[in-house]
Structure 1
Amino acid sequence: MNHNPQSDLIKLTDVATKLPKLINKVPHLLSGLKQAYLRTPTTATGLGIAFEKAVKHNPHGMALLFEEQKFSYQALNEWANQIGHFYLSLGARKGDVIAVMVENRPELLATVIALAKIGVTTALVNTSQTAKALTHSINLVKPIAVIAGEECRAAIEEVRSDLNVGTDRFHWFADQPTRVESGTAPKGWSNLAEKIDHFPKFNTPTTHTVQGKDGLFYIYTSGTTGLPKAVIFTHSRWTLAYGTYGHVLNLNKNDVMYVTLPLYHATGIVVCWCGVIAGHATLALRRKFSTSSFWKDVQKFDASAIGYVGELCRYLMDAPTSENEQRHRVKKMIGNGMRPNIWDKYKARFGVEEILELYASSEGNVGFSNVFNFDNTVGFSPTPYAIVEFDKESNSPVKDAKGWCKKVKKGDVGLLIGKITRRSPFDGYTDPEKNKSVIMKDVFKHGDSFFNTGDLVRDIGFRHAQFVDRLGDTFRWKGENVSTTEVENAVSEYEKIAEAVVYGVEIPNTNGRAGMAAITLSEGTTLTEQDLQQMATQFKKCVPAYAVPVFLRIQKQVETTGTFKYQKNKLKEQSFDPNKNDERLLVLLPNATGYCDLTPEIFSNIEAYQYRF
């Protein structure tokens, strides 16, 4: 049965019933909001200062748990200080960038804290990137060094000759507990664990010189040109997240937050971790999400909170019931993408009381957080925003007779835009042209400016919203943003494919949209059985696993508009339904090594949720 969004509209009486439970959070919330909003671009602020404050309040409490490793706040801080002092000795200074490609493990967090304290921006390279995209991501931010975990070294070695980084600036961590055994670095790499060993453990002198306007992270996001965009995430924005999401979570020293999300994304590294630091609590980390190990780990680490994305929740809901799923003390979750049709079922099955769904983007200036603990909403926003009427056909906001945008009525869906002000600045991308394309001017009056999120949301009242869909040339699948242009380029490189149009299609009972490519073949060619295997193999080499098209549609020619834009709306509408297509459809079924024909029988099995994509 489909969920009715109109049932989620919020009334004044609904807000009143939530207030009593909010009262005990108020002191912590006010403290957070004070830190979030009493900051300026030149205030000394950020991750380094917040972490040192947590060390001072809880030096012997656990900061980090990973596999069998444990680090107190003091121990993690001393490790970070040694890394920081080492880079200061190399001449690293505020404003420099270091590219870091390490999977979720203690070495990554120690490095991030270290670089934050010395004012160096960490470029958080997606650990699944390879080839062209990896070269682009690293060179784009002009790093003074690269830090790689052994688990990512092969991908970097493959493109090393194309990287604009000094040959002596490739630093390496063994894929093991390097505080115990540093390992032996391969040829051409400096062993970072060894290099830092003789450096001091006291705080670096630079922490309080780092200001709000200084860069903390580069986080990569899919771009419309096909290659990743680097979004600057400043210490000021981190402090805003720390003061809002971090304090809404309301953790304390006895809490343990279990996180399996990749830390090269903001949900993990910013939202989840800043909640832990704000409460001087413990972060329990896993390298990659595993359905079968999830509740076992929750028990092992005695977790009381978890970080999530919608896909993760769906996998847990699909798993057979186990005795571990109720034997835990998890009462809170923070993240995004929880689907309305499983929200209540999830809470009931796993005993979770508070789902702190949120909305934010790495580059945006508007954020929502479910502070009142309503169901089926990304929550409440204290930042200035508007939801405006949007015409999907013309792909532009609807204007009134005077040329101004029109706000939607309560219950309606529109484009979310964030007002750009001194308190809600737009930090933007490394590419000035990209910045211009997402800023809307003269929206409601002359001289105002708004950030275009590219997202459709529903206004459900009392400054609350519901996420509906993503517009434009990216879609979300497996909790990741997929760039259609990047996939189009990769698919078109297959020798028999002349042209490809990529778009996202919905598969019942899954989150986001799966990739589908409408392809036209080179003249005189046909696809053989061998091609169906080779295409899948080649695509997997060119793009991350989550970006490989699940469906292919073989067209005689690609339909375009008068301005030569692809007719994606029609393609999305027809989707992968054989009843709506008279062209050949192919599907890459879960765990298959090649594409196969999408028959009516396979289609009905997909619709009946017989395959787990």
Structure 2
Amino acid sequence: MGFFGDLKREFFTLKELLRVTREVGWIKPDSQKLTPDHLEEIVDAHLELPAFITDDRTISYAEYDAYANQVAHWALEQGLKPGDVVAVFLTNRWEYVPIWVGLSKIGVVAALLNNQITGNSLAHCLNISGANVAIIDGELTEAYASACDLIDCEMAPHVMDGAAGSGERDFDTEVAAQPSERPSREHRAGITAKEPCLKMYTSGTTGLPKAAIIAHTRTMYYLNIFASGANAGPGDRMMMVLPLYHSTGGLCGVGFGISRGGAVIVRKKFSASAFWDECVTFEATLFMYVGELCRFLLAAPETPNETRHSIRCMIGNGLRPDVWERFVDRFKMPRVMEFYGATEGNVGLVNLDSRPGAIGRIPPWLKWRFNVELVAFDLEKEVPIRDADGRCRRTEPGEVGEAVGRIDPDDTRFRFDGYQNKAENEKKILRDVFKPGDAWFRTGDLMKRDKDGYFYFIDRIGDTFRWKSENVSTNEVAEALGHYPGVQQANVYGVPVPGHNGKAGMAALVVGEGFDLDGLQSHVAEALPGYARPLFYRIQTQTDTTGTFKFRKLDLVRDGFDPANISDPLWFAEPEGSMRPLDREVHDALVSGTIRV
């Protein structure tokens, strides 16, 4: 880059980090300023400006706040009080954010459920939510019904869009009857910012999703930090095609709009063919991405509007180096702001200067201001390496290690509020890392950094892998497969597929009498969400295990889905639902992208 280029980069980094730090410095754990207080201040400053934009209407800040107030009064009418939980099971819609904001106005915590799950997974999330009241999208009543018999507690369902059935309540009618004035702040008096605002769910590595506690500090931080980094303002419009139940879309992305006087363009789902036309139609200036979304856009046919848009910055994660520069070049993207973070974690990185492939940067001269370290890692044993004194070693530039974050309960950025299940928290904490008594959050991610302080994502540790921008638990998939007649053993793992982020699911099965391959797909479709369904199957006569009867996966992962490496029968689960023998022709078509998955 050269001396003057380096100097320019460091000046930019310092200026941006100082500005961002200043703009979120007011968020303190012991403060009584909560998420609804912060958002009400923003509403009052932008009453007539658009806050949410849909196909058929624009909702002003005044209207969004009025709806949130009605939701708060509705919750009071239900007898809800501070600390109570309401399960929110909705598709993307403009009311989504005002609903959880309204609940927070009286200290009620919203548990935001993944709208792709059904059956046992959905029932599990409802059971651990602590809720006995649920708000359900009319489109999701069938999915909710699939979980009803498995719910432990008595749940009062309130359904939107006039879809309420027997035993259910009409949420829209109930809310419309409520006053639109703000409820007294006394309803949330005494709550501090370190207490829960939301619950969000993460797959983790144990099989079923875990509930992560999102305190007001983290909620406000997510709503503001990335908007600050992109210097968002009232003229910005965020194109939101990511799910609002997740922190990336529902907090970070939404924050670009409603924390800065801008607007959020709410789309029910992502369409690669319509995306750029929608960006032009709705005059989007920002969009929130995940890596797979960018791959879909690159694979779509060219359209005139893909370079006529007004987007000035794209923000997200998972944009891999092989896609980054092609995406920027084709779609004339002025700025990419890649970031790294976890819903429940305390490690955050952001790439402010658009270095291709980097997930963030910590300048060496500013390292003391951050809590992130990479520790040397034993890939075979899947644990950090410790020396004779029991201490971990920081990696050298270019060396791969696990990212960990120092836990500091007094710093908003470095707190670890963790999961609802406290036993799960200990699994994520690494102790006595560099000195006796210190505690660090384990991200479970392998990274490397270069001499200039840029960080690069390498892979996830352990059995959980990512596919279609979602975490897939091998235990949950194996359990679902194990319920199918004739499946004696199911060993599930992820395999890379050229041209795709993350890893696709593959299952090595040992089967016996009663196994019907043709019916397996129907069973899997009922038991698992689309992203968790295995793409490849390997039929074995026996499964290799360790001395403690744990499945060995290293050789299976190394073999992948290449028939040249495997003598066992292989099958490919086609998207339309049929099973196809995975021979050389099919393998080569998958590798070349002729067959899309």
Q: Same fold (TM over 0.5)?
A: yes
Which amino acid is the alignment partner of residue 447 of structure 1? Answer: G
Q: Given that residues 65 and 285 in structure 1 are in contact (C-alpha distance below 8 angstroms), is that contact kept between their aligned partners in structure 2?
A: yes
Quote the offset at 1:320 in angstroms.
1.0
Aligned pair partner of 1:240 in 221, 225, 228: 221
Secondary structure of residue in 2 paired with 1:163: coil
Matched, 1:612 2:596: yes
Secondary structure of residue in 2 paired with 1:110: helix
Residue equivalent to 1:79: 67
Residue equivalent to 1:281: 262
Shift >6 Å, 4+ stretches:
10-13
Q: Given that residues 221 and 228 in structure 1 are in contact (C-alpha distance below 8 angstroms), is that contact kept between their aligned partners in structure 2?
A: yes
Quote the offset at 1:280 in angstroms.
1.2
Residues 158-169 of structure 1: matches in 2 within 5 Å?
158-166=146-154, 169=156
Distance in 2 (CA, whole Å) between partners of 1:43 and 1:394 is 43
Residues 375-524 of structure 1: matches in 2 within 5 Å?
375-380=356-361, 383-422=370-409, 423=411, 424-522=414-512
Q: Given that residues 358 and 455 in structure 2 are in contact (C-alpha distance below 8 angstroms), is that contact kept between their aligned partners in structure 1?
A: yes
Q: Given that residues 309 and 336 in structure 1 are in contact (C-alpha distance below 8 angstroms), is that contact kept between their aligned partners in structure 2?
A: yes
Secondary structure of residue in 2 paired with 1:196: helix
Shift in CA distance, 15/285, structure 1 to aligned 2, threshold 3 Å: farther
Residue equivalent to 2:365: none
Quote the offset at 1:157 in angstroms.
2.1
Aligned pair partner of 1:367 in 348, 352, 358: 348
Distance in 2 (CA, whole Å) between partners of 1:569 and 1:212 is 45
Matched, 1:145 2:129: no
1:320-342 per-position Cα deviation (integer Å, ceiling 9, x unaligned): 11101011101201111001111
Shift in CA distance, 253/462, structure 1 to aligned 2, threshold 3 Å: same
Matched, 1:572 2:557: yes
Residue equivalent to 1:18: 9
1:520-543 per-position Cα deviation (integer Å, ceiling 9, x unaligned): 112x56x6xxx3331111101000
Secondary structure of residue in 2 paired with 1:257: strand
Distance in 2 (CA, whole Å) between partners of 1:306 and 1:312 is 11
**Aligned-pair RMSD on alpha carbons?**
2.0
Quote the offset at 1:552 in angstroms.
0.5
Secondary structure of residue in 1 paired with 2:176: coil
Aligned pair partner of 1:92 in 71, 75, 80: 80
Identity %: 33
Q: Given that residues 25 and 250 in structure 1 are in contact (C-alpha distance below 8 angstroms), is that contact kept between their aligned partners in structure 2?
A: no
Distance in 2 (CA, whole Å) between partners of 1:569 and 1:76 is 52
Matched, 1:334 2:325: no
Distance in 2 (CA, whole Å) between partners of 1:273 and 1:476 is 23
* Count of aligned pairs between the two proteins: 586
Distance in 2 (CA, whole Å) between partners of 1:425 and 1:150 is 37
1:12-56 per-position Cα deviation (integer Å, ceiling 9, x unaligned): 8655333565688578524423234xx12x212343122212211
Quote the offset at 1:184 in angstroms.
6.2
Secondary structure of residue in 2 paired with 1:554: strand
Aligned pair partner of 1:58 in 46, 64, 70: 46
Matched, 1:602 2:572: no
Q: Given that residues 74 and 174 in structure 2 are in contact (C-alpha distance below 8 angstroms), is that contact kept between their aligned partners in structure 1?
A: yes
Matched, 1:320 2:301: yes
Matched, 1:255 2:228: no
Shift in CA distance, 82/372, structure 1 to aligned 2, threshold 3 Å: same
Residue equivalent to 1:170: 157
Q: Given that residues 138 and 163 in structure 2 are in contact (C-alpha distance below 8 angstroms), is that contact kept between their aligned partners in structure 1?
A: no
Q: Given that residues 488 and 510 in structure 2 are in contact (C-alpha distance below 8 angstroms), is that contact kept between their aligned partners in structure 1?
A: yes
Aligned pair partner of 1:32 in 23, 45, 55: 23
Quote the offset at 1:202 in angstroms.
1.8
Quote the offset at 1:575 in angstroms.
0.7
Quote the offset at 1:550 in angstroms.
0.1
1:179-201 per-position Cα deviation (integer Å, ceiling 9, x unaligned): xxxx4632222112211223221
Q: Given that residues 35 and 243 in structure 1 are in contact (C-alpha distance below 8 angstroms), is that contact kept between their aligned partners in structure 2?
A: no
Shift in CA distance, 199/348, structure 1 to aligned 2, threshold 3 Å: same
Q: Taking structure 2 as the reference length, what is the TM-score of the superposition?
A: 0.94
Aligned pair partner of 1:70 in 58, 71, 75: 58
Shift in CA distance, 64/581, structure 1 to aligned 2, threshold 3 Å: same
Q: Given that residues 507 and 538 in structure 2 are in contact (C-alpha distance below 8 angstroms), is that contact kept between their aligned partners in structure 1?
A: yes
Distance in 2 (CA, whole Å) between partners of 1:443 and 1:259 is 40
Shift in CA distance, 420/102, structure 1 to aligned 2, threshold 3 Å: same
Shift in CA distance, 46/314, structure 1 to aligned 2, threshold 3 Å: farther
Secondary structure of residue in 2 paired with 1:476: strand
1:444-490 per-position Cα deviation (integer Å, ceiling 9, x unaligned): 11101111111001112444311110111211000101111000001
Residue equivalent to 2:144: 156
Distance in 1 (CA, whole Å) between partners of 2:164 and 2:379 is 54
Q: Given that residues 413 and 456 in structure 1 are in contact (C-alpha distance below 8 angstroms), is that contact kept between their aligned partners in structure 2?
A: yes
Aligned pair partner of 2:194 in 200, 208, 213: 213
Which amino acid is the alignment partner of residue 123 of structure 1? Answer: A
Matched, 1:560 2:550: no
Which amino acid is the alignment partner of residue 101 of structure 1? Answer: F
Q: Given that residues 107 and 173 in structure 1 are in contact (C-alpha distance below 8 angstroms), is that contact kept between their aligned partners in structure 2?
A: no
Distance in 2 (CA, whole Å) between partners of 1:60 and 1:118 is 25
Quote the offset at 1:401 in angstroms.
2.9
Residue equivalent to 2:182: 203
Shift in CA distance, 443/224, structure 1 to aligned 2, threshold 3 Å: same
Quote the offset at 1:402 in angstroms.
2.2
Aligned pair partner of 2:517 in 517, 532, 538: 532
Distance in 2 (CA, whole Å) between partners of 1:458 and 1:30 is 25
Distance in 2 (CA, whole Å) between partners of 1:327 and 1:316 is 15
Quote the offset at 1:255 in angstroms.
0.7
Shift in CA distance, 27/76, structure 1 to aligned 2, threshold 3 Å: farther
Shift in CA distance, 28/440, structure 1 to aligned 2, threshold 3 Å: closer
Residue equivalent to 1:126: 114
Could you tell me which runs of 5 or more consecutive residues in structure 1 were left unpaired when the two chains were aligned.
1-9, 175-182
Which amino acid is the alignment partner of residue 595 of structure 1? Answer: M
Distance in 2 (CA, whole Å) between partners of 1:143 and 1:152 is 18
Shift in CA distance, 208/12, structure 1 to aligned 2, threshold 3 Å: farther
1:158-209 per-position Cα deviation (integer Å, ceiling 9, x unaligned): 3324334546x311110xxxxxxxx463222211221122322122223863
Quote the offset at 1:374 in angstroms.
2.2
1:345-371 per-position Cα deviation (integer Å, ceiling 9, x unaligned): 111111112111111111111111112
